[in-house]
Structures are given as structure tokens and as C-alpha cells.
Chains A and B, each alone.
Chain A
Amino acid sequence: MIETLFSLPVYILMPVVLIGYSAACLGTGLLVWNILLQTTRRLDGVSAGTILATAFILGEGILAGLWLFLALGGLFIFRIVALLSFIFAVGGLYIGRSILLDFKRQAVSIWCDLRSDSWGWQFIAGLTILLCLMWFTSLGRPLNGDGPAFYFAFAKIVASSHHLIHLPGYEGFTNIGLLGELHFAALMLLHSPDAAKLFSWPTIIAAGIMLASLGRVAGMGRRGQWLTLSILFTSSAVIWLSGDGKVDLFGAVLGLAAYYWAVQIRFNRTPLTLFITGLFSGFAFVAKLSYIPVMVPGIALLVLWGYAKDFKGKVDWLPFLKSFMGGSMILLAGLLVALVPHLIKNGVLFHNPISPFGSGGMGWLDQGWFGEEITRRIVLTYPFALTYGSYWAQYGNLSPLILAFLPLAFFLPRPRSWLSSPLVVITFVALAGLAIWVVYSPSVFAPRYILATLLLLALLPACAAEYISLADFRPRVLTFGVIVFTSVTLVAFGLSFLGVVFSPDSTTPSLVGTIDECDRDGIYCSAMQAINKAAQPGERVFLASYQHYWFRGDLLQCLSSTHEVGDFMRASGDDLWLDLYKKGFSYLFIDKATHTAFLEQLNVENHPDWVNLTTVFDQSIVLIYRMDFADPPTDVAPMICQRRPSSTIWEVVSP
């Protein structure tokens, strides 16, 4: 029965798994939300849409923690994950049915407001929704880069081994938070890597709702919220993350939720808001460690702002201090709850809960991407670099609409008090976060590292553009400009990414199943499939490539480790081949685009007589040899990769 279900075509299986798993995230969040709601009487000014987006994001954080514990205990198996997902989806949606009904009413109200607005705004809203819907078509986008190198490959190794184990070649990297990767792993376990690829879609929708909700708190109306969403979907730093297997969006959506609820502390200071601010902050730090230096001061500022009214003209300090300390403790408790699974994971795997801090493998934390001159140029050209830059590994920009609408902020009415304006405070928090990043890591220029903070910068221009659209008098040049330039940008974005991220040629064939994974993903997939077909269970591949994802589960676990690659690089001459023999490798996989040094070091043309090389694959940039050893000059028996008794874990051992 289950086998029949999973042999359904992609266009049925993938949406079912994606919708079902998203419902599980939403349901989990609603269950927890309902429990937390017991601690508070009422929340003012929080819409049903915001609560649903909050619940979805909360569910993402909590389920990732749950999957982490299951994987640590070796219980990350299909039956448990599917059963829990089903229970959470059904239970949560049943408990949260009144919120869903409220959301239906809210959606109708948004639709009515839009219908009563001018055609120009309807056009902008329509284009924004269209761009959002286009994310679905990224299914046909080839997987390449960091996704199949680590994030997707790690998810596959967890899904196939049912345990949380290191990915050979990236052992030291497993100390990062694995929030997004565990969702990918769960979706792979549910037989849909395609749903894992598209899980960024519900995630970005939740991010859009949180950002628009922040806009509402900052004083925006519907037009401003549509503009905020237009800015979100015309930021290439966001669009490039559609269906590419990277995990940066998880950090962004959790960060936005943390900012939203931190702002709410001022208007709805309850144990609930304090706790989930801490919870979301912790999840965001786990999802992307780069948020720690940027978000900690911002969240602290927003919490202080939340308490600012009590602070004013205070004579008796004791009750205030008690309330502030109590609130801070609740927030810290939330933070700790979010961090605990991550700390336990690092404690178990690295014997250091706070790894990579205090561990040897901190190299990736201390990065420098450019020399002094380029770094100075980047720093001096903010915000233009954020809008127009195409630096190495930048991976996208912020929307040009932010820069375009920025001067309109001068026309906004001056708030009665700067500090009482949420818009001013949120913008200040964003600018402070950006400034901290520039000081902390000026040479790492990647908007995706601090995306949540950067997206807050969308609110001021969107708010100003909305204001001008309402307050501009004849000739309405600026209103015309806002509508025309937003529309042009939305159309240009759709066209620019069409065929690349949105609706690539392989989308429809992928959906109907007329092409396979390798037709879509290209040479690395084909090369690894060639080994998958030929290799016996547990045969070892010496991998000289960053890419991992397409290997079979057992082969993935038996790949060359970082330590073994290091040994190889230190050896020379016949010792290299002897080393490969002793470690039990049967295949050599060389990526000529990135690892030519290996090929030169091996000197394949002059290999020893006792090594027999057979070419398994030689196309474009990938070269694969099968190695057979006849009478090697050593008595040492080669190591083998074998499956542990009654386990799904493969390990390399001496015979």
C-alpha cells in the first residue's frame, strides 16, 4: 500500500508531501501556540495571518529540534516521522480551526480592500502574487553549489542512515545548527527530495507575512504591505534561494519572527511574547550562526524599547527592575529552549556543546573573502554595493526599490517622538545590525548571512512610498513613479529569472517524470550514478570534489574523510597509491574543475604496475577510475567499510 503511494507521479506525490509536511509544521506550531496562550489573557492587534505564520515558523523550529533528538537516538525512521507529522498536522489544525476561520475572513478583507483600490495597485499586488507563485516552478532548477555539496547531502545521509552522523569530507562542519537540513532529511525520508527542494516556498511565504506584519506595526496600510512584499520578491538575495537546496531562508524567517515578537513586547508585553521572542531568536541563531552578532544587540534594543514606557519618570525603581528582570528571564528561557537540542547535538558529536566556539575547527567562522582594497571599496559603497554588487559568493542583492524609494522618507510626517515610532526604532535596529556586521566581518559580503536584518530595511521605503501615494497632490508625479517603477521592477525580475530559477525547461518534465534527476542536475549526478550502479555495498570512493549529494546512502557514509584527504595530500609518488590501497578505496572521483591538484599529484599516466586503473566515467569535468590492486608491496590488509550489525550505519574499520 505504502509502496504504491510512493510510486505515484511527482506531480501528485510532491505536492501531497509538501502540503502535508507544511501542515505538520503549522499544526505543531498551533499546538505549542495554544499551550503558550494559556499564560496570557489577550493579544491586541495581532492578525490571524500573523498568528498562522508565527505558528508555521514555530513548528519549523520545534520539529527540527524533535527530528534532531530522534536522529541522535537512531529513531529517525519513516514510520515515526510520518506518524508524528500526521498527528501534529491533524491535531494542530483541529485545535487552531478558529484561527483558520479568522484568517479566511482576513483574506476576504484584503481582497475587498484591493478591489476598491486603483488598478495600478491591483497590478502591483497581482505581479507580486505571481512572483510568489513562480517559486513552485523552481522544481526544475538544477541542484548545484552548496546545496548538493553539504546541505542536501547531509540530509540524505541522515535520512538513509536514520542517525545523526558526520558527512565525510565535512566532518567539522556538522557543528553548525542543522535546522534546515533536518527538514530536508524528513522530507527525503517521506520519499520526496523534490518536496525538500521546494520547502523554501512555504518558508518564504511565512517570511513575507512576518515582514508585512512588521510593516503593519510600523504604521503601514495595505499599499505599504504590498510594496513590502514587492521588495521581498524583487530581492535577488531571496529569489536565488528558491529551490537551490541552501538553508539561509530558515534563518531569515526565524529572524523576522524574532524581530516581530520583540517589537510586540512594547504593545503586548506578556509572558508569551517574551518567551517566543527568545525562542525565535534562539532558533534563528541555530539556523544561521551569523545572526548572533547582528541580532543580539537588535533584540536587546527592542526589549529595552518595550520597557521604555515603564522606565520614563520612574521614582520607585524596585517594581520596574523586578518586572524587567522577570521578563528577561522568560526571554532567556525561550532562548535556552531553542538552543538546547543544538547544544546537546554538539555535546554528543563533538564533546563540546558550544562548538565551533572553543573547538579546533573554527576556520569557517573566521573568513576573509577579499583583500584590503576591495573590502574598503565594499564598505565605502554601502548601500550601493548591497543593491548593485556582484562580488564573489555574494549570491544576490537587495531590491533596487529600497534605494529608489529611500528619499521619499524625507516626506514622511515627523513622529511626535522619534523613540515612540516603531518605524524609526525598527529601521535603527536594522541599521545598527548592518553596522555591526560591517565592523565584525567587512570582508564577508553576503546579504544571505544577515538577510532578516537587511529585510527590515524594506519597511521605511515601503512606508514612505505608501504615504506619498496617499499624500501626493497634483501633479501626482511621485505616485506615478512609485507605481510605474515597482511594476517595471517586478516584471523585469520575473523575466530575468525566467528559465533560470523560475520555470526552467526541466520543470514540466520533472513533474510528469519524463526526465530523471540526472537529466535535471547534470554531470555530477550522472557521474555519481555511474558509481552507484557499479559499486558493491560499502565500497569506498576517494572523493576529490565538493559535491556529494547523488551518491547512494551506503557509499555516502563510506566516502573519504577530511583526515584521509589530508593524508593523501601529504603523500607522494607510489606512497599515494599505497595509501589509497590501505584505506580500502575502490574508486577515484576527481572533479577537474575544482580539484586538478589531486590529478597532478596522482600522476595517473605513471601509476605503479600493481595498480590497475579502469575508466568508469570521463566526461567534461569529472573523471572516475575503478582501482584494482594486484600484489601491492605491503602486508597490511586494506580497511573496509561495513554495516554495523543490525544497524543502518556504515563504518570504516580495519579487518
Chain B
Amino acid sequence: MDRQLEIKERPLPIMVKIGVFFWMFAVIFVYLLLFGPPEFWSILERLGLGYFFRVWRDALQPFLTAGYLE
């Protein structure tokens, strides 16, 4: 447990909290879309979202990939 940081009571607005939570979710979710294990995709398939997110992944991937001397 932290003993060094100075903790101040500074309640954060709920919208800020939800915004940051959504950012964290989005970052991890996009990472899993691109590099996630098969288990992640089987969960999406069961939810009926597999095709939808595969389209998203296929649209995203070309922006983050390139071959030698391209």
C-alpha cells in the first residue's frame, strides 16, 4: 500500500470518471481486437458480435501495418 503519496479528498465529477473509464475500456478493447487471444474472439462470436468487430479490425489494421521499404 502506498505510504508516500499525499492523498487529498478531491471527489471527481462522475462524468469525468465515466469518460476515463470508457477510455481505458476502449484502449484495451482495441488492443484485444488487434492482438487478442482466440478466447476473446469466441466470446464475441457467442455474443453475435464477431462479424461486426472483424470488419472493424480489418478496417483498422492497414493503418498500423507496413512491410519492409513500403
Instruction: Report A's interface with B, CB cutoff 8 A.
Output: 113, 116-117, 219-224, 236, 368-371, 374, 377, 381, 384-385, 387-393, 397, 400-401, 403-405, 407-408, 411, 413, 463, 466-467, 470-473, 475, 477-478, 480-482, 485, 488-489, 492, 495-496, 498
Q: Are A492 and B37 in touch, CB under 8 angstroms? A: yes
Sample (25) of A-B pairs whose CB atoms are under 8 Å apart: A220-B4, A222-B1, A222-B2, A223-B2, A368-B69, A370-B68, A377-B66, A384-B64, A388-B31, A388-B60, A392-B66, A401-B28, A404-B28, A413-B6, A471-B8, A471-B9, A473-B9, A473-B11, A475-B14, A477-B21, A481-B21, A488-B32, A489-B28, A492-B40, A495-B40
Q: Are B27 and A374 in touch, CB under 8 angstroms? A: no
Chain A minimum-CB-distance residue to B19:
A407
From known contacts A220-B4, A413-B8, A478-B21, infer whether A387 and B27 are also in contact, taking CB-CB under 8 Å: yes
Q: Are B7 and A496 in touch, CB under 8 angstroms? A: no
What is the minimal beta-carbon distance from B65 to any residue of chain A, in angstroms? 5
What is the minimal beta-carbon distance from B43 to any residue of chain A, in angstroms? 11
What is the minimal beta-carbon distance from A482 to any residue of chain B, in angstroms? 8
Residue in A370, A463, A473 whose beta carbon sits within 8 Å of that of B70 in the complex: A370
**CB neighbours of B69 from chain A (8 A):** 368-371
**CB neighbours of A223 from chain B (8 A):** 1-2
Q: Are B10 and A471 in touch, CB under 8 angstroms? A: yes
Q: Are A470 and B7 in touch, CB under 8 angstroms? A: yes
**CB neighbours of A387 from chain B (8 A):** 27, 31
Which residues of B in the span 56-70 have a Cβ within 8 Å of any Cβ on A? 60-61, 63-70
Beyond the given A221-B2, A222-B1, A404-B23, could you list 7 further A-B residue pairs with CB under 8 A, ordered by the A residue number? A219-B4, A224-B2, A368-B69, A403-B27, A413-B5, A471-B9, A485-B25
From known contacts A221-B5, A413-B8, infer whether A374 and B70 are also in contact, taking CB-CB under 8 Å: yes
The 6 nearest A-B residue pairs measured at CB: A221-B2, A495-B37, A400-B31, A404-B27, A496-B37, A404-B24
From known contacts A400-B27, A403-B27, A405-B24, infer whether A113 and B65 are also in contact, taking CB-CB under 8 Å: no
Chain A minimum-CB-distance residue to B8:
A413
Q: Are B28 and A407 in touch, CB under 8 angstroms? A: no
Where chain A touches its partner, the secondary structure class is helix
Q: How far is the CA of A113 from the CA of B9 in the complex (A)?
A: 24
Q: Are A477 and B23 in touch, CB under 8 angstroms? A: no
**CB neighbours of A470 from chain B (8 A):** 1-2, 5, 7
Q: How far is the CA of A400 from the CA of B28 in the complex (A)?
A: 6
Residue in B1, B8, B30, B61 whose beta carbon sits within 8 Å of that of A116 in the complex: B1
Residue in A117, A384, A392, A466 whose beta carbon sits within 8 Å of that of B68 in the complex: A392
The CB with the most chain A CB atoms within 10 A, among B20, B38, B40, B67, is that of B20
Q: How far is the CA of A35 from the CA of B24 in the complex (A)?
A: 48
Q: How far is the CA of A113 from the CA of B35 in the complex (A)?
A: 34
What is the minimal beta-carbon distance from A276 to any residue of chain B, in angstroms? 25
What is the minimal beta-carbon distance from B33 to any residue of chain A, in angstroms? 9
Interface size class of B (residues with CB under 8 A): 35 or more
What is the minimal beta-carbon distance from B14 to any residue of chain A, in angstroms? 7
Q: Are B64 and A390 in touch, CB under 8 angstroms? A: yes
Q: How far is the CA of A471 from the CA of B12 in the complex (A)?
A: 10
What is the minimal beta-carbon distance from B15 to any residue of chain A, in angstroms? 11
Q: How far is the CA of A392 from the CA of B64 in the complex (A)?
A: 10
Q: Are A477 and B17 in touch, CB under 8 angstroms? A: yes
**CB neighbours of A393 from chain B (8 A):** 68
Chain A minimum-CB-distance residue to B30:
A388
Q: Are B28 and A388 in touch, CB under 8 angstroms? A: no
- Check: B47 CB closer than 8 A to any chain A CB: no
Chain B minimum-CB-distance residue to A415:
B6
Q: How far is the CA of A384 from the CA of B69 in the complex (A)?
A: 21
Q: Are A467 and B66 in touch, CB under 8 angstroms? A: no
Q: How far is the CA of A498 from the CA of B36 in the complex (A)?
A: 12
Q: Are A391 and B66 in touch, CB under 8 angstroms? A: yes
Q: How far is the CA of A381 from the CA of B67 in the complex (A)?
A: 17
Q: Are B68 and A369 in touch, CB under 8 angstroms? A: yes
Residue in B8, B10, B11, B23 whose beta carbon sits within 8 Å of that of A407 in the complex: B23
**CB neighbours of B2 from chain A (8 A):** 220-224, 466-467, 470
Q: Are B7 and A471 in touch, CB under 8 angstroms? A: yes
**CB neighbours of A489 from chain B (8 A):** 28, 31
Chain B minimum-CB-distance residue to A222:
B1
From known contacts A219-B5, A473-B11, infer whether A374 and B66 are also in contact, taking CB-CB under 8 Å: yes
Q: How far is the CA of A588 from the CA of B17 in the complex (A)?
A: 65
The CB with the most chain A CB atoms within 10 A, among B6, B9, B38, is that of B6
What is the minimal beta-carbon distance from A125 to any residue of chain B, in angstroms? 12
From known contacts A116-B1, A387-B27, infer whether A475 and B17 are also in contact, taking CB-CB under 8 Å: yes
Chain A minimum-CB-distance residue to B39:
A495
Q: Are B35 and A496 in touch, CB under 8 angstroms? A: yes
**CB neighbours of A381 from chain B (8 A):** 63-64
Q: Are A481 and B24 in touch, CB under 8 angstroms? A: yes
Q: How far is the CA of A240 from the CA of B10 in the complex (A)?
A: 41
What is the minimal beta-carbon distance from A72 to any residue of chain B, in angstroms? 36
Q: How far is the CA of A223 from the CA of B12 in the complex (A)?
A: 21
**CB neighbours of B64 from chain A (8 A):** 381, 384-385, 388-391
Q: Are A478 and B66 in touch, CB under 8 angstroms? A: no
Q: Are A236 and B24 in touch, CB under 8 angstroms? A: no
- Check: B46 CB closer than 8 A to any chain A CB: no
**CB neighbours of A466 from chain B (8 A):** 2, 5
Q: How far is the CA of A411 from the CA of B67 in the complex (A)?
A: 40
What is the minimal beta-carbon distance from B3 to any residue of chain A, in angstroms? 6
Q: How far is the CA of A393 from the CA of B7 in the complex (A)?
A: 44
Q: Are A117 and B31 in touch, CB under 8 angstroms? A: no
What is the minimal beta-carbon distance from B22 to any residue of chain A, in angstroms? 9
Q: How far is the CA of A490 from the CA of B23 in the complex (A)?
A: 18
Q: Are B18 and A477 in touch, CB under 8 angstroms? A: yes
Chain B minimum-CB-distance residue to A465:
B24
**CB neighbours of B28 from chain A (8 A):** 400-401, 404, 485, 488-489
Q: How far is the CA of A489 from the CA of B1 in the complex (A)?
A: 22
Chain B minimum-CB-distance residue to A494:
B37
Q: How far is the CA of A521 from the CA of B24 in the complex (A)?
A: 39
